[in-house]
Amino acid sequence: MSRGKLYLVPAPLDFGCDTQAPLQEVLPLGTLLTAAGITHWICENAKSARAYLRRIDAVAPLAAPLQAQHIQELPREVHKKGDHAGQFDARPLLAAALEGHDIGLLSEAGMPAVADPGSSVARAAHDLGIQVVPLVGPTSLLLALAASGLNGQNFAFVGYLPQDAAARVQRIRELEVLALKTGQTQLFIETPYRNAALLYALIQTLQHDTRLAVARGLTLADASLRSETVKAWRARPSAADERAPAIFAIGR
């Protein structure tokens, strides 16, 4: 029996936002048609996955009714601790692919396994001889980087900064030293309700000539991206949206 494929299916970037972007504007038709033909899924949250499948169905009819879709959730500890360290064995989740069924991997927003769990699933697929196929769709990190004016030839995504205020300031200073010394853009994210605290810490901690970019609501009608020196941020403060996901970047 031929094995199925593992498709990395991107989701729109409007998860948790007040407005939603029409799928046809943010995802290619080919991606939507491929996703509509999949009946087995691995996701972060089954409720969110079903909501996304309903949106897909409105554009490209699903191959099986929603109630007949096979949906598996990644364990909660994978969400909290990440799954890139090799401590989670995702091979059991891919049993359907070994039986010939294609499987779709979903995250809440953007590309699965990038700033989201899922790398363990892709790694397990490679180990099992299952073809991994990334589909085209929005990735907030690259969209923010491209529009920021910061160095797109040398950059790093460092995930979340510490929640403790003192540790966060120390980490900001470490990343700034690296960015200014090497020219490497540093990208990071935060849980939306902590956006304001992080933005304040950045403005207060960074040197005045360091460039800070903050992108919010990318691909949405009310998207914004501000990229200026910290000196300009201090002169014209900007409130942080505590609902919309944001990408932060620093560099020179």
Please spell the DSSP secondary structure of 133-153, one letter per residue.
EEPP---HHHHHHHHH-S-SS
pLDDT single digits (tens) 117-157? 899 999 999 999 999 999 999 999 999 999 999 999 999 99
CATH of domain 140-251: 3.30.950.10
- At 19 the pLDDT is 83
**Any idea what the Cα angle at residue 27 is, between residues 21 and 32, rounded to 5°?**
115
| CA 114 to each of CA 9, 57, 97, 209, 233: distance values in angstroms, whole numbers, following the listed order | 12, 25, 22, 30, 29
Bridge partners of 133, per DSSP, are 7
Q: Which of 3.90.1150.10, 3.40.1010.10, 3.20.20.120, 3.40.30.10 is the CATH number of 6-134?
A: 3.40.1010.10
- Structural contact between residues 32 and 56, judged by C-beta atoms closer than 8 angstroms: yes
Residue 80 has pLDDT above 70, yes or no: no
pLDDT single digits (tens) 183-240? 999 999 998 899 999 999 999 999 999 999 999 989 998 899 999 999 999 999 887 7
Bridge partners of 215, per DSSP, are 225, 247
Please give the backbone phi and psi of residue 82, each rounded to the nearest 5 degrees, phi first: 80, 165
Cα–Cα dist 13/139, whole Å: 8
Q: What percent of the chain has pLDDT over 90?
A: 82
Cα–Cα dist 176/93, whole Å: 40
Whose tokens are 């990735």? That residue is 139
> What residues contact 148, with CB distance under 8 A and at least 6 apart?
185, 213, 215, 225, 227, 249, 251
Q: Average pLDDT, whole number, for the chain? A: 93
User: For the chain, what percentages of helix, strand and coil (3-state, to nearest 5) are there?
Assistant: 40, 20, 40
Query: Which DSSP symbol is given to 128?
Result: T
- Count CB atoms within 10 A of the CB of residue 139: 17
Residue ranges of domains in the chain: 6-134, 140-251
Residue 53 has pLDDT above 90, yes or no: yes
* pLDDT band at residue 108 under the 50/70/90 scheme: very high
Equal CATH topology for 6-134 and 140-251: no
